[in-house]
Amino acid sequence: MCIFCKILNKEIPSNPISEDDKFLSFHDINPKAPIHVLIIPKIHIDSFNDVSPQMMADMTAFIQKLVEKLGIKEDGYRLITNIGEHGAQEVKHLHFHLLAGSRLKWGHFTDADPKNNL
């Protein structure tokens, strides 16, 4: 069972923020910003590659509510989902990172030449 399924099963503790019947949000254990929250579906889906458009619609509504709850709508935030090897996805259970709480940097994603494919 994957680590996020263990969190959903309460075999591993987490610091939850919100949940409904389909999704859970909780604080990332290794935050990269003052606010770093993970949003996951309650059923195991490997990545964005496998999510249905309907589930993404429901997840969008869930994340928008979470943003309201956190009070970060006006100041802004960043949503990221890492996919597969090149996306550097470590946990193979679909999750969105919600990063906020200060102005984020827009950085250096790879050592490969970014102009290679222009």
Active site positions, annotated: 95
Give whichever of 8 and 67 is closer to ligand 5GP, judged by the CB atom: 8
Instruction: Please work out the total of residues on this chain that contact ligand 5GP, with binding judged by CB under 6 A.
Output: 14
The two structure tokens encoding residue 43: 């059923």
The two structure tokens encoding residue 13: 């503790």
Total Cβ atoms within 10 A of residue 83? 14
Residue 4 is a binding residue for Zn ion (CB under 5 A) = yes
Residue 5 is a binding residue for ligand 5GP (CB under 6 A) = no
Instruction: Report DSSP state, residue 75.
Output: T
x/- letters, 25..54, toward Zn ion (CB under 5 A): -------------------x----------
Q: How far is the CB of 113 from ligand 5GP (least distance, A)?
A: 24
Residue 90 is a binding residue for ligand 5GP (CB under 6 A) = yes
Q: Which does 44 bind (CB under 5 to 8 A by kind): Zn ion, ligand 5GP, none?
A: Zn ion
**Cα 39 to Cα 25: distance, rounded to the nearest angstrom:** 4
CB distance 39 to 23 below 8 Å = yes
